[in-house]
Structure 1
Amino acid sequence: MEITIREGGPDDVPAILGMLDSSVEWLVAQGRTGQWGTKPLSESEKTVESVVRYMDEGDVFIADVDGVPAATLTLTDSPGAYLAHLPPPGEPERYIHWLASDRRFKGHGVGSSLLAHAAEETRRAGVALLRVDCYAGDDGKLVRYYESNGFVRTETYAAKGDWPGQVLARRV
């Protein structure tokens, strides 16, 4: 199995939405519906707009496994507007959005490969801070996943009233 990471673009939007839908299906099968709900994210106009907006604002990367799109993330220069109430980091940063994988590739290291690539891209840009936010509810597995990839917890927040979120940071 060979993982290659490439830049993504508008032609990859259907594959990215497919990865998000695969993640929702996997979460629902585990009874973990708090993160992204129960409906395919590709059916949410707001989600589609968000994926395209971050693509326009930043750099999209796709991890291909033997030529098949397996995972994605987008890097921008700032977090989403839903985190505007948190204090800014006080230095330049790169911010990860929409990390997702096609769950057929779970356990093959595609997400970790993308996170390592994001750290390298951030370092190459002369920026020392890489941040991400994620769902912090249920069993906390997602937060621990980021920690296992070199991130440390910083601020917690609540979105949409009671959706528990965690911001994490990594020095690169």
Structure 2
Amino acid sequence: MQITIRKGGPDDVPAILGMLDSCVEWLVGQGRTEQWGTTPLSENHKTVESVVRSVDEGVTYIAEADGVPAATLTVTDAPGAYLAHLPPPGEPERYIHWLASDRRFKGHGAGSALLAHAAEETRRSGVSLLRVDCYAGADGKLVRYYEGNGFARAETYTAGNGWPGQVLARRL
């Protein structure tokens, strides 16, 4: 299976929401409902607004597997407002939002290819810090996934509803 990466845009929002819904369905099937709940994210008005805002404000990349959208992420200049309580890094950064993959393509490397692409594009732009945050509860698999892709734990946080989060950073 060949993975190619292209820039995305507003026309990709339905596909991005489909990937997020695929992740929720997969997580529910694993009994892992703490991260994103049980309802498709495309049915959550705030999530849809957040995805649209990220696509509008940042640069979205779509990884395609043999021409089919398989994974996505968006890179902006800052984390989401929900992390405003954390100290800023004190230097320019790029921040990854909404990394998700269609679970039909799990294990084909589309997510890792996107992370490597985001790192290279960040480095190429002259910025040496790439950060991301994720769910840090349950068995910690997601945090370890990012660590396996070159990120290191930076700050932990708890969202207002008790949701455990982890900010990770990658020096480029």
TM-score by length of 1: 0.99
- SS of the aligned residue for 1:123 comes to helix
> What whole-Å deviation, never above 9, does each CA across 1:30-73 have from its counterpart, x for those lacking one?
00001100000000111110001011111000000000000000
Aligned letter for 1:34?
E
After TM superposition, what 4+ stretches of structure 1 lie above 6 angstroms from structure 2?
Answer: none
Q: Say whether residues 1:171 and 2:171 are aligned partners.
A: yes
> What whole-Å deviation, never above 9, does each CA across 1:84-140 have from its counterpart, x for those lacking one?
000000000000000000000000000000000000010011000000000000110
User: When the two structures are aligned, how many residues end up with a matched partner?
Assistant: 172
TM-score by length of 2: 0.99
Whole-angstrom distance in 1 between the partners of 2:40 and 2:160: 19
Query: Partner of 2:149 in structure 1?
Result: 149
The CA deviation at 1:161 is 3.1
* Structure 2: runs of 5+ lacking an equivalent: none
Query: Partner of 1:88 in structure 2?
Result: 88
* Structure 1: runs of 5+ lacking an equivalent: none
> What aligned pairs does 1:12-23 form with structure 2 within 5 A after superposition?
12-23=12-23
Q: Say whether residues 1:107 and 2:114 are aligned partners.
A: no
How much is the aligned-residue C-alpha RMSD, in angstroms?
Answer: 0.5
Query: Partner of 1:66 in structure 2?
Result: 66
> What whole-Å deviation, never above 9, does each CA across 1:9-40 have from its counterpart, x for those lacking one?
11111100000000000000000001100000
Q: Say whether residues 1:7 and 2:33 are aligned partners.
A: no
Contact 2:10–2:56 under 8 Å retained in 1: no
Q: Say whether residues 1:77 and 2:77 are aligned partners.
A: yes
Aligned letter for 2:128?
A
Query: Partner of 2:127 in structure 1?
Result: 127
Aligned letter for 1:168?
L
- SS of the aligned residue for 1:82 comes to helix
